[in-house]
Structure 1
C-alpha cells in the first residue's frame, strides 16, 4: 500500500518545499489539518531535492526512525528561462519500510518522465499557479487519484489534458527461478484445472496433466511427449509465477536429517502438527501427534529411509500401516523441518586429470567417469543414465579399488 505521495520542488528563495501532498498533512502541516506526519521533512529535505549529482536517477531513502521508505526520482531541467537556469522537482511515494519496494520503482520513474515531458511542453509544473486553463487537472487532484487508483486497482489511467494521459500499472516482481533439473520433482501449489482454459498453451496443458508430485521432470517430458528442453522451460515459467515448487526424487535409499526448524514442529507452531496429520495419515486410525515428532527426529545422516523404516518396524511400530512415507518426507522438506543428504562420487584420478588438463582413461570407469568430480549427485546420474543406485555402485566398483570415495553432503 502507498501510504502517501507528494510533489516537491526547489524554490530559489525558499529552498525545497512540498507543494502538494496526499493525504493532506502527511508530510508537512497544513492549515486546518490535524494529522500525524510520517517524518520530519526538514530533516529529509536535502535528500528529496538533492545535489545535481543525484538528480535524474532513482533514489530511495529511509526516515530516521526506519518506519517509512521514500521512493523518488529527482529531476533537474536546465534551461535559461528558469531562475538560476534550472528547474528541480521530485514526485515521491511513501511506503512502509517492510513493503517490497521493487514494484514501485517503475511507477516512480514513470511519474518523473511523464511530468518532465509535460514541463518541457508547456511548463505544466513551474507555471501551475499562473495557468488559467480549465481543461487540465490540477497536480493536487492528480496525485490523489494516482494514490487511490494504485492502492485499489494496482493501475491508473488519468487524462491530464488534451495531449497527455498518465498510464501506470503495478506489476509483481518475481525473482528469476533456479534452473530446472531433469531429476527434480514438481509439485503444484494450486488447482490448475480450476484456472485453465482454452487459451492456455497446448504444451503447458500436456505437462500440467502429468504433474502429480511423484514423477520427475524427465518422466513428465516422456509421458507428455514433449522435448526435455521445452519441458524445463515450461516448468521454469511456472516456478517464476510461484505456481509449483521443486523437490528431489523420493527413493527409499535417500537420506534425510532434521533441520533446526524442527523445534517449530515440536512446539506445534501455527498448528503445524495438525497440518502434517491431515497430509500424511492414510485411511485408518490416527496415531497421537507424539509419533510424528518421533518419526521426524529419528531421521539421521547415518541411515536411509529404508533403514529408518526397518528400525521402527523392529521396535514394533509399522510406519507404513499408518503413514504415507512419501508425503511425510515431502511435508518435512517443504516446511524446512528436514533436509536431504546427497551422495557424490569422487575419483582422485579424474580430479587429477582435471587439474593437469590431461585426459586420462580410467579403467572400468568409462560410463560414469565424468560424474566422479564430486559435483554430480546420484540423483543426476540416475536421471541421465537411467540406472538405479545399486547399478551406480556396481559401475563405480569397476574403477580400481581405492580410487573412488563416496561422500555425503
Structure 2
C-alpha cells in the first residue's frame, strides 16, 4: 500500500523575543519567512501565514491541528506547551509539522504526528533535548531520517537518540469504522482463522472463533459459546474491522433471493471466481453451467424451498446454503426481506400479550430476521 509522500517537515519554537520561529526545515527552503520565489510560490509555505496555528494559543495546544497553508500544501502538527518556571515566560512551546500536497490523504500520518509530539515532549522533559542549544541540532537529523524513511519504506526504525530509546514508527492504512453487528446476522470466515489464531488474542475472540461456521447467527453463537451477547457482538465487530469475517443473513428455506444481473456478468467473465464457487458449493463433481442455470432460475417471490422443489436441487448434491452464502458475499445475489406491519389491534385474544410485546417491531421497519432475535 502506497502512502502520500511527505513534502517537507519543519520544527518550530516560540522564541522569547522573536516569537514563533522556524528552527529547522527538511528540505531546507520548504518553509520561508517573507516572499517565496514566484516560480514555486504555491509549493513553499510562508511561515507568517500559518504561525498562529503552528505555535498557537493554549486552547489549540496538545491537540492535532491541520490546515491548508497554500493552494497546494496542507500542514499537520501537534503543538506542545510545557509549563515550567525554568523556561523564559515559564513555558516552552514547540511543534514538529509535516507538510503534504493538499490533494493527498493524510489520515494515516495523524498517529505518526501525535507520536512524534509525545516523543519530543518526553525527550525535552527527560534531557532538555529541545531547549538546550548543544543538543537541539539532533532534532534536524531526526527530521531528515523521518522524511527519508517514511517516504521510502512507510516506516522509520531505530532512529537513535542519545540517552533515550530508539524511535520506531510505522504507517498503517486507515480503515472505515466497522458496520453495526446485529444479533440475527451470521459471520462467515474470510480466512481460515484456526490457522492464524494466536493464544495471545483476546480471550472472548478465542472462545467465539470455533463457532463462526457460516451457519450460526451472532445470538446463537452467544448461546452455544456461553458468552454474553454484547461481548460476542464486539468480537465479531473486531474481526469484521480487520477483514477476517463478513456478515450474511440467517439461511432459511423460506428466504427469497434475487440475482443482481450486472454483477452476474462479472461471474460469467471471471473464471477464477467460477472455480472458487465450484470448490465452495459442490459435494460431487459439477460443471459451472449447472450452477449458472440454477442461479438464473431464481425469480422474485420464489422461496428457496420452492426453488429446490421446482428444480429438484437436492438430487444434484449441492450444498445449497453455501451456494447462497457465496452469492451474497460476492454480490451477485441479494436477500429480499419481508417487513411485517400490524393491521389492527387484537383485543381479548390469547395472543394479545405476545402482540403487545411485538407491536413496537410491527412498523414496517423491522424484518423477520430481526424479530427472530427479540
TM-score (norm 1): 0.65
Partner of 2:64: 58
In 2, distance between residues paired with 1:126 and 1:309?
A: 77
Superposition deviation, residue 209 in structure 1? 1.9
Partner of 1:381: 371
Partner of 1:304: 303
Please list, as runs of the form range in 1=range in 2, the aligned pairs for 1:326-405 lying within 5 A after superposition.
Answer: 326-349=321-344, 364-372=351-359, 373-374=362-363, 375-384=365-374
2:109 to 104, 108, 119: 104
Structure 1 residues 39 and 109: CA distance shift in structure 2, 3 A? farther
Superposition deviation, residue 340 in structure 1? 1.6
Do the aligned partners of 2:68 and 2:74 also contact (CA within 8 Å) in 1?
A: yes
In 2, distance between residues paired with 1:88 and 1:203?
A: 43
Superposition deviation, residue 77 in structure 1? 8.6
> What RMSD, in angstroms, separates the aligned Cα atoms of the two structures?
4.7
Structure 1 residues 28 and 227: CA distance shift in structure 2, 3 A? closer
Do the aligned partners of 2:53 and 2:65 also contact (CA within 8 Å) in 1?
A: no
Do the aligned partners of 2:77 and 2:98 also contact (CA within 8 Å) in 1?
A: yes
Please list, as runs of the form range in 1=range in 2, the aligned pairs for 1:125-164 lying within 5 A after superposition.
Answer: 131-132=133-134, 138-147=138-147, 152=153, 154=155, 156=157, 158-162=159-163
Do the aligned partners of 2:77 and 2:95 also contact (CA within 8 Å) in 1?
A: no
> What's the CA shift string for 1:52-105, capped at 9, x where partnerless?
479534233568887x864333568999959xx997754215479565x44422
Structure 1 residues 207 and 114: CA distance shift in structure 2, 3 A? closer
Do the aligned partners of 1:103 and 1:170 also contact (CA within 8 Å) in 2?
A: yes
Partner of 1:190: 191
Structure 1 residues 335 and 77: CA distance shift in structure 2, 3 A? same
In 1, distance between residues paired with 2:261 and 2:46?
A: 43
Structure 1 residues 122 and 205: CA distance shift in structure 2, 3 A? closer
Superposition deviation, residue 259 in structure 1? 3.8
> What's the CA shift string for 1:220-258, capped at 9, x where partnerless?
334334454443343334334332222111111101223
Structure 1 residues 215 and 327: CA distance shift in structure 2, 3 A? same
> What's the CA shift string for 1:1-36, capped at 9, x where partnerless?
3622411548999x9768332xx579479xxxxxxx
Greater mean alpha carbon deviation, residues 337-346 or residues 90-99: 90-99
In 1, distance between residues paired with 2:228 and 2:257?
A: 32
Do the aligned partners of 1:18 and 1:28 also contact (CA within 8 Å) in 2?
A: no
TM-score (norm 2): 0.70
Partner of 1:19: 24
Secondary structure at the counterpart of residue 208 of structure 1: helix
In 1, distance between residues paired with 2:276 and 2:71?
A: 39
In 2, distance between residues paired with 1:27 and 1:326?
A: 60
Do the aligned partners of 1:217 and 1:231 also contact (CA within 8 Å) in 2?
A: yes
Structure 1 residues 222 and 147: CA distance shift in structure 2, 3 A? same
Superposition deviation, residue 162 in structure 1? 3.4
Greater mean alpha carbon deviation, residues 142-151 or residues 278-287: 142-151
Count, aligned residues: 352
Superposition deviation, residue 182 in structure 1? 3.2
Structure 1 residues 26 and 181: CA distance shift in structure 2, 3 A? farther
Do the aligned partners of 1:343 and 1:378 also contact (CA within 8 Å) in 2?
A: yes
Structure 1 residues 331 and 64: CA distance shift in structure 2, 3 A? farther
Secondary structure at the counterpart of residue 207 of structure 1: helix
Structure 1 residues 366 and 120: CA distance shift in structure 2, 3 A? closer
> What's the CA shift string for 1:87-128, capped at 9, x where partnerless?
7754215479565x444223212333544676688885577x
Partner of 2:37: none
Consecutive unaligned residues of structure 1, counting only runs of 5 or more, are: 30-36, 354-359, 385-409
In 2, distance between residues paired with 1:114 and 1:340?
A: 51
